[in-house]
């Protein structure tokens, strides 16, 4: 049979690929999360999570660390992105390049370097060190989307607000922040998502005396734990991600600014 070629047929391989490698594996998480080892349907894996202190504690710890890291990154990155987007501080793109450059060094090596540096500075390993390590690793992911949206911002609107009698504080909260909202949202997502599930950074920067959620999932899958329970925990993570995406879509009107805008 000879089919006439049309450009739209070029989608077919990737559509099959997505079904096989993206959609089907995600369905598998649901299947594993709601079955026991003999493949019988059960809610016990999910229920176990809500009653298992050794899972709830890492979950809360990861959630808090992710929220704290995201907030710190936003507070540190916002003025930075604002200055970078202002012509008088940054005439060429070299400055921006300087902030992206470290991302090409393997993040584990960077984290180990940070670990050594904190050791020399007498900062003890633990939650504080982990949070510093996370901010260090994910700061560029906050800077770039903020920089992109602040750079696109029409600066004459700030002048207009000033001319109309707004105080600097009012200009910031009523003009600059709303105009850079797409950047804030995508930056927050790009930092929050990886931090809530990160485990390598915390493995290096703590004495492994307390678990993060990712550590626990990694343990269940790679160190011979119960993968049905592990799938249930991944399912919980999926729900958190779903909530985060839902909240961000409430703010987000320009769909292209998530992910795509970063580069």
Partner 1 sequence: MVKKILGRSYIALILLFIYVPIFYLIVFSFTDAKLMGQWTGFSFKLYADLFTGPKSAEIMTALKNTLLVGLTSSVIATLLGSMTAIGLHSSSKRMKAIVQNANQIPILNAEIVTAVSLLLFFTILGMNSFKGFWTVTLSHIMFCTPYVVLSVLPKLKGMNNNVYEAALDLGATPWAAIMKVVVPEILPGMISGFLLAFTLSVDDFVITQFTTSANFQTLSTYIYNTYSGKDSMPPELRALSCLLFVVVLLVLVLLNIKSGKKRENA
Residue 103 contacts partner 1 per CB under 8 A: yes
Task: Check residue 98 for interaction with partner 1 (CB under 8 A).
Answer: yes
Which residue from 196, 202, 206, 229 is in contact with partner 1, where contact means CB under 8 A?
Answer: 196
| 199 belongs to the binding site for partner 1 (CB under 8 A) | yes
Q: Is 97 in the site for partner 1 (CB under 8 A)?
A: yes
Task: Choose one: 36-44, 50-58, 148-156, 211-219; the region binding partner 1 (CB under 8 A).
Answer: 211-219
Enumerate helices (H) and strands (E) in the chain, giving the number of each. 14, 0
The tokens for 15 are: 């559509």
Question: From residue 32, how far is each of 29, 218, 237, 247 by CA, in Å?
Answer: 5, 16, 14, 27
In whole angstroms, the minimum distance from the beta carbon of 204 to partner 1 comes to 6
241 binds partner 1 (CB under 8 A): yes
C-beta of 146: minimal distance to partner 1 in Å? 13
Concatenated DSSP letters of 13-70: HHHHHHIIIIIHHHHHHHHHHTB-TT--B-SHHHHHHHH-HHHHHHHHHHHHHHHHHH
Binding part of the chain for partner 1, among 37-45, 67-75, 116-124, 173-181 by CB under 8 A, reads: 116-124
Binding track, positions 141-180, relative to partner 1; x by CB under 8 A: ----------------------------------------
Give the nearer residue to partner 1 in terms of CB position, either 11 or 60: 11
| Residue 67 engages partner 1 in binding (rule: CB under 8 A) | no
Q: Applying CB under 8 A, which of residues 149, 184, 237, 257 lies at the interface with partner 1?
A: 237
Q: Tell the smallest beta-carbon distance from residue 184 to partner 1 (Å).
A: 17
Size of the site for partner 1 (CB under 8 A): 82
Report the residue from 67, 75, 102, 251 that binds partner 1 according to the rule CB under 8 A: 102
Q: 117-149: buried (b, 16+ CB within 10 Å) or exposed (e) per residue?
A: ebeeeeeebebebbbbbbbbbbbbbbbbbbbbb
Cβ pair 158, 152 in contact under 8 A: no
Q: Quick one: which segment of 44-52, 53-61, 92-100, 153-161 binds partner 1 (CB under 8 A)?
A: 92-100
Burial class (CB in 10 A: 0-12, 13-18, 19+), 85: buried
Candidate residues 126, 162, 227, 252; the one interacting with partner 1 per rule CB under 8 A: 227
For the segment 2-31, give every residue that binds partner 1 (CB under 8 A).
5-15, 17-19, 21-26, 28-29
Complete DSSP assignment for 135-200: HHHHHHHHHHHHHHHHHHS-THHHHHHHHTT--HHHIIIIIIHHHTHHHHHHHHHHHHHHHHH--H
CA distance 240 to 235: 9
Instruction: Please identify, using beta-carbon distances, which residue of 114 and 184 lies nearer to partner 1.
Output: 114
Q: Should residue 83 be labelled a site residue for partner 1 when binding is judged by CB under 8 A? A: yes
């Amino acid at each position: 049979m000879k089919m006439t070629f049309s450009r739209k047929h070029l989608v077919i391989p990737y559509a099959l690929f997505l079904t096989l490698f993206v959609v089907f594996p995600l369905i598998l998480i649901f299947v594993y999360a709601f079955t026991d080892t003999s493949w019988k349907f059960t809610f016990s894996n999910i229920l176990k999570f809500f009653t298992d202190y050794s899972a709830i504690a890492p979950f809360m710890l990861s959630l808090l660390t992710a929220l704290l890291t995201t907030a710190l990154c936003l507070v540190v990155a916002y003025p930075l992105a604002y200055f970078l987007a202002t012509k008088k501080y940054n005439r060429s793109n070299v400055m921006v390049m300087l902030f992206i450059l470290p991302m090409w060094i393997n993040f584990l090596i960077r984290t180990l370097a940070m670990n050594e540096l904190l050791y020399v500075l007498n900062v003890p390993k633990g939650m504080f060190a982990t949070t510093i390590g996370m901010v260090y690793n994910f700061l560029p992911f906050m800077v770039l989307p903020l920089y992109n949206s602040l750079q696109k911002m029409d600066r004459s609107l700030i002048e207009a607000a000033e001319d109309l009698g707004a105080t600097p504080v009012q200009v910031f909260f009523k003009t600059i922040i709303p105009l850079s909202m797409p950047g804030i949202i995508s930056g927050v997502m790009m930092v929050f998502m990886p931090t809530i599930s990160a485990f390598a950074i915390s493995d290096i920067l703590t004495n492994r005396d307390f678990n993060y959620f990712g550590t626990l999932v990694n343990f269940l899958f790679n160190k011979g734990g119960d993968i049905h329970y592990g799938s249930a925990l991944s399912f919980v993570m999926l729900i958190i991600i779903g909530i985060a995406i839902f909240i961000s879509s409430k703010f987000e009107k320009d769909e292209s600014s998530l992910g795509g805008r970063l580069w």
